[in-house]
Structure 1
């Protein structure tokens, strides 16, 4: 029972004070899926969605006060005032009073409050005042620091917001928080569904709703519900849900529910924000916490029984043992972690890196493999149309015209290739004949077919289906090829020649897109994938995306910091290999998506270690490679900006996207780059490692110092006829020491600590604690002997002098250990601390001497020390620093230094 209680307390104080909030959004989608299976929805939600699904569109719009061209701005504002913003409540920070309670609700402050109550009951008003002041100061500094940290994080996250295309009697882009019921949305491939919506029209619309249902394949949605009556809203074929995303196709939809009235919001309110171990960062914090709890369970009972039996006062022994337990509790850990992460986030923002989840910074530093797409990351992301040729590689205006018509009339996701076609300098030649065409229908792009088609009518005389896409996928649906004005059967010999022409273009670093077409009678108005057959290959459009000049030095910088870069792209292997060679990324063989398909898990585990270039991948391939790298023990980052990257972004330890990415990619990412550059990533890696190094300093300092103090207490309790230090002394000393740690987030970090990836290693922390902790105990025991033999403070009548002497020496060694352990080098000489940390050290040491020597001594039950004490103290501190440095050098040679 005691273990469970302590575990709950520890989890509470770690995760309730700002850290836990940053994990909840990551957990929410996983929790929603479980909740949707096991918990009932609010009674009104199911019928509301069912009614919206079955109501005629005109009647639904009328009921929502809307019309086909959407709401007016004034109508939307009036509705928003009534229903509130389109946000899920669990994403909001708690109110200040609840945050204040969370800051107070810690073992440390609860114990201090208990001691203050005991002092008040026993009419010791001085102790009550002092202890009460400590509670106020302790809570206040955490509250102020965490509010600042959370505010900074919120401001950073606010810089990146997803938008939706809305009809407000004109087409506009609005933040999703501004949507209201009745808004009419335009949806296309790559869009996040920003609210629960009823489809008004849909064309080949496929929606990924795995977050809700666990279905791995996208679900097709229609403008009308064609199925039978169902009690499950997820089975409604014309309802799309907040939190899902459009994989392919296009649609118009009317918003029927926002915020907490959505399926997502309703389930989110029922998901308890249980802090499960979902990231390497959170797992590391929990492991360290439990390591210290185990020491607490051993030490606190020993102190209780030794003092109870030797002193006979079990009440005082109990309070003293509780103080020891608090001394082993790293009560400042959440504040140090949050402050350090927030500082890192602010620094990264100056480098055009927006951190959506604070704990992602630590994963940034721990990352040892970065998987990235090719386009826009290794290359300039300024694709331009270099050539438009017939099947033999000769320039062809017919191919340019067909490519222009395809890109111009498609309504799905226009990628960089479409933009390059539409902005091509020679496109004016295609505009004149294009005036004779009108759009009939389109067959949207998807990542299985890797092609898309539009159907146009030429002078209403006949229909023409124009298809463009990856070369192999286009050849799969072609039966003939056009040479000049003659269409020839696509024989094996001609296929071989086509592949030689496209391979030559690829070898020049050009990305080749094939263009095919066929003429049809004007007898149908709706077309589908089955109509993509019997086509005639008419030629290719080839695009150039040259590598960035900064890519090669950035890859070298990442390699120097222990980060391996692997390219995962859906592009052609020849183009990918050429670009990679130009930027210094070499691989003997490129692994293709078809190879990945054939590999077993064991074979792929070997392949991802041996190879750096993977081409012609589907989204599923990318996700599988990322998960395999994680299973191999790597901390994996994935950088992507397309809808095909979303699964891999979610699977990675740290998802990285850019502000120009599609909605689903930005939503899945942990970090958003305002500049798509690997050099920015290298700076982020370094900052992440600095952040981790400073967090680790606090944990190692606190663990070793507190363990040494408790070990000293055990020795003193066994041989001294009075308490070696009062509970109040221990708590004041602990509080002052904690205040000295506030500046750790601003400390300097040695270069070698950011040279390689760093990960949590609780076993190393425990070993470090056992090696370095007892060093302070050696000098504590020397202090005991000095106080007993030199100053004759060995009897209960002189216990205050003894306690004052150990109080000062203990605080001095605790404060100095900050500088001894913050570096493996010689402190102050080879590694200088940050200015803020040095200032805090001097201030706390001065306060430590002032308390027994000044007018407040009697409030703290201390007394002035003889001046002859201080030269001896100086010798003790010099000896302590020398022995600690020697032990540190021995430890680093034997076990290394993290």
Structure 2
């Protein structure tokens, strides 16, 4: 054994743990980068865990400067000064001011801030106030909603346990008082030389005592164990608890998770008891390394963020082209460059959908409120749209698709036929054993009691018990039925039970265990194993009531009665949820650390048709290009490490998918972080909840389908605003360019543009509450900047046709053809411009015929009607002079309905052409 390596590691570990956390994280990232994505631990830590597992216990304690009776308090205090507390670095919440900055910063808010500043400097305080208000409202709304969700998520984070039973060589009352005086922590004696300590005070070399229900507080090497079963589901994804021993039997093991005498921080003891020595604490544990990987790496840009940024820059490019054109044309044709500059600035503001941040944030906030009623915490608002854009959902198996509880699935005879006799004997064995009952015993008792009322005390009395041990891998109880005879009932691993059986029950009789019968029995049990079931054999033997004391030697000449088989069953909501997701265009892929047989069984149970299975060992040998092709073909992946899961998610994203990941374990945290949308559950480990964007508070997975629907509804409403605003604004600016070239005065004053834009924006406030056509919710939706640009150019000039018609009407019919009559001209175009701009809301919100086949929600109908009424009132009412408008002649209102109806008819016709050629979304 390489004890020099072990000693060098611990010496270096104790020397360097005092270095700042910042440099530890940089070193970890560098190590991860050098070792490649297929490894989730630096090679040094893996070697140390393997060396600690294979070392003799006495030698290991010696190299840790410890003792079988633990450290003295002075030793522990000295080590703690060097290595720091036993705390895993978690993702720290942002300070409020940084969170506020993150809510503010995006290309559009920055652009609007610039426009507001220019407006203020040019003394256009109204425009500056309007734009500034939009920025503040959208930023504060996002800040408030995300802060509320994060506080709810933080409330879920609670450690399973916060103390450990530590062996101390000098835990006397005097030492306890000194310790309390120095650290402010009271030591409560639990037993001779044992004390309860907060887990943050543990150090390498501490000897701890573990019992059923205890959380493993650090990475430990077992010194002694009795009937020890540990649940590693959060670490590996395996539903069944694993047996742990004081000695590691397989000298060739190199995977730390397969070491039989190593316990990992974050797992927990299911049954049995053990003493162990701490070999790693805090960030220098397996869990700590995974947590560091998650918290040290910044979250990548999600689909939503990338889409919003692209759309923002598209609109900004349009503004940078159109505004200078307006400036130059008006400057050269009118000769007043200052007025031309102010008008160009107004055009820039008019082109900019300044309500976009507000609409996006309020729409997402409405989605968050909707999901909160479904008992879903949305930590990041952007995740709602990613929900709707998601086309691939990767999910862990244990605790997400399954219940993370062991159930008795079958009780059968040796030939695979259902048998109540087997259930009764298994029940008696589990009921009368006095040792700590493991999960399998609990499952037997619960199942039997649900099936019928069993009262063993009425018919049987316990005579004796032969306890379980890991060499025999079986245990027996002896019961008497009315004192007529004694019955030995033995339960355990199949091969170990067969080794003490000479006969097998077949129907009402028994027959000898011949080689042919044994072959049939192994075929039956192999079939159950192939279905992902864990099989436990049950055997029995009757004998006269004379004997009262029994031992291992009495486990002989038994008759095999049958088997009980166990499974971690799927949640009731899993199958319908997966079916609903498939109907809505979301492909589901299972990524689990469990074995392939159990995984295949669960996939069959939930109705997920396998398109091939890929194992972690296969992934190790694949390059990124090969694996990128494989992740498209396969939909089930088993025996994965955390790094495998993360790598699969990243390659799916690189292939152009919007990827969601559903998981609840330590091993899921890197993939949760890498996905566009990380989804976890309230019972998940802390690091998984930190990495997730959305946390489900109920066990039903049907909320996933509802989340997808709400995400698509949210996106559809955001897209409505961008399409209608961008096309309408583009049309207005195009009309201004035409008017500027041929009319000897400004077709509309800067004030008119801003008022029109403000009224239009107010009409959009109700968009988050609008209805969405069913066909727009059937497929994943994502930002397509190219489509938005095409939509602008296609529909924008339609309004210009009627703007130019209005120019001609005002010029030729009403004689507004000179600077002296420009107010009449501007009033006429103001009304037509605002009304067509408001009607476009209803025309473009749906590909159907508006008002007939698809009606807007009542709030949106009411808001647009009110704005149209205000648009007519402003030039006709007492405020007209204030806004530099004038009353329009009655004949104008005879032409107005014809213009509006013609506009709606042409727009509807163009919609049909556009849908046939390009589709709607």
Shorter-chain TM-score range: 0.5 to 0.7
Give 1:307's aligned residue: 330
Q: Is the 8 A contact 2:393 2:661 kept in 1?
A: yes
Question: 1:740 Cα shift?
Answer: 1.5
Q: Is the 8 A contact 1:619 1:648 kept in 2?
A: yes
Question: 1:885 Cα shift?
Answer: 1.0
Q: Is the 8 A contact 1:510 1:542 kept in 2?
A: no
Query: In the TM superposition, what whole-angstrom CA distance separates every residue of 1:463-490 from its partner, at most 9, and x where no partner exists?
Result: xxxxx99x9xxx9xx9x9844499xxxx
Alignment of 1:676-695 (within 5 A): 676-695=699-718
Q: Is the 8 A contact 1:157 1:356 kept in 2?
A: yes
Give 2:533's aligned residue: 511
Q: 3-state SS of the aligned residue for 1:634?
A: coil
Q: Is the 8 A contact 2:681 2:689 kept in 1?
A: yes
Give 1:318's aligned residue: 341
TM-aligned CA distance change 1:852 to 1:817, over 3 Å = same
Please give the alpha-carbon distance, in whole angstroms, between the structure 2 residues aligned to 1:558 and 1:840: 35
Q: Is the 8 A contact 1:605 1:629 kept in 2?
A: yes
Please give the alpha-carbon distance, in whole angstroms, between the structure 2 residues aligned to 1:564 and 1:743: 33
Alignment of 1:685-764 (within 5 A): 685-764=708-787
TM-score (norm 1): 0.67
Give 2:179's aligned residue: none
Q: Is the 8 A contact 1:388 1:399 kept in 2?
A: no
Query: In the TM superposition, what whole-angstrom CA distance separates every residue of 1:623-654 from its partner, at most 9, and x where no partner exists?
Result: 34333433332222222223333333233322
Question: 1:621 Cα shift?
Answer: 3.9
1:863 counterpart = 2:886: yes
TM-aligned CA distance change 1:373 to 1:891, over 3 Å = same
TM-aligned CA distance change 1:607 to 1:146, over 3 Å = closer
Please give the alpha-carbon distance, in whole angstroms, between the structure 2 residues aligned to 1:30 and 1:777: 59
Please give the alpha-carbon distance, in whole angstroms, between the structure 2 residues aligned to 1:616 and 1:391: 30
Alignment of 1:117-516 (within 5 A): 118-119=122-123, 131=127, 134=130, 138=134, 141-142=137-138, 145-146=141-142, 149-150=145-146, 152-154=148-150, 156-157=152-153, 160-163=156-159, 165-167=161-163, 246=266, 278-379=301-402, 381-386=404-409, 420=443, 482-484=499-501, 500-506=523-529, 509=531, 511-512=533-534
Q: Is the 8 A contact 2:612 2:633 kept in 1?
A: no
Q: Is the 8 A contact 1:626 1:636 kept in 2?
A: yes
TM-aligned CA distance change 1:763 to 1:87, over 3 Å = closer
Q: Is the 8 A contact 1:61 1:182 kept in 2?
A: no
Q: Is the 8 A contact 2:392 2:588 kept in 1?
A: yes
Q: Is the 8 A contact 2:836 2:903 kept in 1?
A: yes
Q: Is the 8 A contact 1:655 1:670 kept in 2?
A: yes
TM-aligned CA distance change 1:760 to 1:114, over 3 Å = closer
Structure 2 regions of 5+ residues with no counterpart?
A: 1-20, 31-63, 167-182, 189-197, 211-215, 221-234, 237-263, 476-491, 504-514, 538-561
Q: Is the 8 A contact 1:569 1:615 kept in 2?
A: yes
Query: In the TM superposition, what whole-angstrom CA distance separates every residue of 1:37-63 from its partner, at most 9, and x where no partner exists?
Result: 79xxxxxxxxxxxxxx99998469989
Question: 1:366 Cα shift?
Answer: 1.2
Q: Is the 8 A contact 2:108 2:312 kept in 1?
A: no
Larger Rg belongs to:
2
TM-aligned CA distance change 1:160 to 1:832, over 3 Å = farther
TM-aligned CA distance change 1:744 to 1:88, over 3 Å = same
TM-aligned CA distance change 1:100 to 1:544, over 3 Å = closer
TM-aligned CA distance change 1:605 to 1:103, over 3 Å = closer
Please give the alpha-carbon distance, in whole angstroms, between the structure 1 residues aligned to 2:111 and 2:571: 54
TM-score (norm 2): 0.65
Q: 3-state SS of the aligned residue for 1:858?
A: coil
Give 2:861's aligned residue: 838
Give 2:585's aligned residue: 562
Question: 1:166 Cα shift?
Answer: 2.1
Once structures 1 and 2 are overlaid, which stretch shifts more, 582-591 or 812-821?
A: 582-591
Please give the alpha-carbon distance, in whole angstroms, between the structure 2 residues aligned to 1:593 and 1:505: 24
TM-aligned CA distance change 1:558 to 1:197, over 3 Å = same
Please give the alpha-carbon distance, in whole angstroms, between the structure 2 residues aligned to 1:692 and 1:713: 31
Give 1:639's aligned residue: 662
1:542 counterpart = 2:565: yes
Give 2:94's aligned residue: 90
Question: 1:135 Cα shift?
Answer: 5.6
**Which among 668, 675, 683 is matched to residue 691 of structure 2?**
668
Question: 1:504 Cα shift?
Answer: 1.9
1:854 counterpart = 2:850: no
Please give the alpha-carbon distance, in whole angstroms, between the structure 1 residues aligned to 2:832 and 2:900: 8
1:889 counterpart = 2:885: no
Q: Is the 8 A contact 1:345 1:361 kept in 2?
A: yes
**Count of residue pairs the alignment pairs up:** 722
Question: 1:334 Cα shift?
Answer: 1.6
Please give the alpha-carbon distance, in whole angstroms, between the structure 1 residues aligned to 2:642 and 2:303: 24
Question: 1:568 Cα shift?
Answer: 3.2
Q: Is the 8 A contact 2:107 2:312 kept in 1?
A: no
Please give the alpha-carbon distance, in whole angstroms, between the structure 1 residues aligned to 2:660 and 2:102: 35
Question: 1:689 Cα shift?
Answer: 0.7
TM-aligned CA distance change 1:158 to 1:698, over 3 Å = farther
Q: Is the 8 A contact 1:167 1:184 kept in 2?
A: no
Please give the alpha-carbon distance, in whole angstroms, between the structure 2 residues aligned to 1:206 and 1:498: 43
Please give the alpha-carbon distance, in whole angstroms, between the structure 1 residues aligned to 2:834 and 2:184: 62
Query: In the TM superposition, what whole-angstrom CA distance separates every residue of 1:272-329 from its partner, at most 9, and x where no partner exists?
Result: x99x961111000000011111111211111111111111111111111122122222
Q: 3-state SS of the aligned residue for 1:567?
A: strand
Give 1:811's aligned residue: 834
Please give the alpha-carbon distance, in whole angstroms, between the structure 2 residues aligned to 1:377 and 1:617: 16
**Which among 785, 789, 799 is matched to residue 766 of structure 1?**
789
Query: In the TM superposition, what whole-angstrom CA distance separates every residue of 1:68-110 from its partner, at most 9, and x where no partner exists?
Result: xx9xxxxxxxxxxxxxxx9935153669999899999754465
Please give the alpha-carbon distance, in whole angstroms, between the structure 1 residues aligned to 2:22 and 2:766: 37
Question: 1:438 Cα shift?
Answer: 12
TM-aligned CA distance change 1:384 to 1:97, over 3 Å = closer
Once structures 1 and 2 are overlaid, which stretch shifts more, 399-408 or 651-660?
A: 399-408
Structure 1 regions of 5+ residues with no counterpart?
A: 1-28, 39-52, 71-85, 120-126, 171-179, 186-192, 209-215, 218-243, 443-451, 457-467, 487-491, 516-538
Q: 3-state SS of the aligned residue for 2:533?
A: strand
Please give the alpha-carbon distance, in whole angstroms, between the structure 2 residues aligned to 1:405 and 1:795: 106
Q: 3-state SS of the aligned residue for 1:543?
A: strand
